[in-house]
Amino acid sequence: MSEALVSGTSGAPSSPPSSDRPPRSIHPPRDPSVPPPAPGLRGWWTRMKREPNAIWMREMRQSARLARTPWILLTLVLVLTLVLSSIGGLTASSGTSPAELGGALFQIFFGIAYFVVVLVGPTVAANGIAAEREGRTWEAVLLTGMTPKEIARGKFLAAYTTMALYIVALAPVGALSFLFGGVTAGEVVIAFAFLFLLAALAVAFGLAVSSFMSNLRGAIVITLMLAAVIGPMLFSMGGFACSLAAHRLWPDVPEGMPIWLPLAYQRAAFGLDYVVLLVVFPLLLVAVPAWFLYESTIANLTGEADDRSSGLKRWFAISTPVVALVGSVPSLLATDDDTRAALCITGILVFVLHMLLCAMLFAAEPPGPSRRVDVRWRRANAGAVKRFLGPGLFRTMLLVVFMCVVGVAAIAFIDGAAIAMHGTSTIRDRSLEQIAVVAAYVTPYCVFAIGLLAWLRARNASPWVPRIIAVGVLFLIAVAPWVVAAITGVLADSGAKAWILLAAPSPFFLVSMLSEVGSYTHDAPMMIPTGMIFALAWGCLGLLFLSIAKHRSDKILAERDAILKRSEAAYEAEERAATEALPNE
């Protein structure tokens, strides 16, 4: 089991060692008479024209040979045109003004286009890698010498080109709303730009799922199921719910309309809230998940004995401070102390949820780098930062703990400073105490969850067993104390609420603690100190789990090194015996 755990993220044996020489390029040699392209972004377009991605070119040639592609596009355009024409005719017959008709067609078209992109984009991308594995051509792709990054990039470009073709084909239909009025040409163009961004995110999602699956039908079914759940949920939250908040902030933005973001760019007043909420936030909401999906795809395509961790850990190290900053900004834009405190607490809880999900992600880490990764580090003279971001269970979980503590403290400090400088004296102290209670309570509990995952992972070869057990343990800790407290309260049959202290081990006890901030009662004395004592106990237990995980990981690595040394000694003895057995000439 120890050797399987060292080799990668599953119990399968590691791949046989291969040469550390860089793979031979599949591109023809460069003409010496042609100057090389400039490095960086300046030479990107030149490199793309001279040596386009081979996977992308192959996929495009295969798509061009399919006779059904133009018929699919024609059918989609005709159906959407008929739907919009029917709705527009019914609306016009009821005496609606052209401006209102144009606004309605704008919402309907881009609402339908959103679901087309969300459902079709992942499905098209899901055919990429899973089809190679099911068709027994994946090994042939690897034998070309292309790296996992090149393969992932080619598959993404192929699927994204297909989705871009769908969007371009639908563009004339979307322009009908502009002809009736009610929306400007800039709003229509911005809406199409967001469709292209959404298509990139949808394709990256389908590609990440496809890279994880080995069966084409399974990849398509799972991708469709996830897209059918996530798509409507994001449409409701980011569409209808956010439009209400946007209308309160900018009255010219229509209320209750799901496609409000393109309209806000033209109708909202320019200012700090405009830059933060309409420029920075949308870019981060697209860039951070897209980068994660890209690194996940590369990690799934990389061999188990190679470095599958550095890309994801770079994403984590850069995106986590961004998430913390995003969690602190909304409260800075609020106008009253209660709203600031509520937004700050929400930002802290969202950040902690992000950290727990990242800890679940890194539960697939091996105890340490494989021998192949070690050799490549030595040959490349890798520095301490590169080695720290490489494979390793303990240092990865230690990074998660550090980022969790610093991130929660940063959110609490930034928002607390804003309340202290601009808040009123009657509400300021209570809001500051609530923020301090939340930050001091959730941080140790998050440390416990991370340590529990590290300890369980160090004892299991499969990454899914620790995740399932950890979720079950955390659920039991959250629910069982309240069950015990409720039973005790019913049996006590008294007006006192001291029984609620029995629920202090549960993380949901934080709600009771916040209700008692600034108003300590005689029915449940010492509620906040009791909760803090249990939170500190959970944090100490998490640190203990981390130390045990480090000890077990070091033991596994030591056993691996001992096995390798014995194997090398045996090979050297066999070679020496064979040399001595040769006749002397």
pLDDT score for 178? 79
* Predicted confidence band of residue 403 (pLDDT cuts 50, 70, 90): very high
Over residues 322-341, the mean pLDDT reads 79
* Predicted confidence band of residue 516 (pLDDT cuts 50, 70, 90): confident
Give 472-477 contacts, CB < 8 A, sequence gap 24+. Answer: 474/449, 477/505, 477/506, 477/507
pLDDT score for 302? 86
Residue 77 identity (one-letter amino acid): V
List of residues 6+ apart from 138 with CB closer than 8 A? 129, 132
Percent of the chain with pLDDT strictly greater than 70: 86
- pLDDT top residue among 155 and 524: 155
Contact between 433 and 516 (Cβ < 8 Å): no
How confident is the model over 353-382, as pLDDT tens digits? 999 999 999 998 998 888 888 888 888 888
What angle do helix axes 337-361 and 393-422 make, rounded to 10 degrees?
180
pLDDT score for 421? 79
pLDDT score for 314? 93
pLDDT score for 71? 80
How confident is the model over 152-185, as pLDDT tens digits? 888 898 889 989 988 998 888 888 887 777 888 8
- pLDDT top residue among 353 and 27: 353
Q: How many helical (H) and strand (E) elements, i.e. helices and strands, does the chain have?
A: 23, 0
CA–CA distance, 232 with 114 (Å, rounded to integer):
10
Over residues 299-315, the mean pLDDT reads 88
- pLDDT top residue among 256 and 39: 256
Contact between 335 and 348 (Cβ < 8 Å): no
Distances 184 to 187, 227, 249, 279, 404 between C-alpha atoms, Å: 5, 31, 21, 20, 45
**Residue 45: pLDDT over 70:** no
Class of residue 110 by CB neighbours under 10 A (exposed 0-12, middle 13-18, buried 19+): buried
Percent of the chain with pLDDT strictly greater than 90: 26
Rg of the chain on CA atoms, in Å: 29
pLDDT score for 33? 53
Six token digits for residue 340: 């600031």
pLDDT score for 425? 61
How confident is the model over 251-274, as pLDDT tens digits? 888 888 889 999 999 888 888 888
How confident is the model over 458-503, as pLDDT tens digits? 988 888 899 999 999 999 999 998 888 888 776 665 555 677 888 8
pLDDT score for 22? 44
pLDDT score for 198? 93
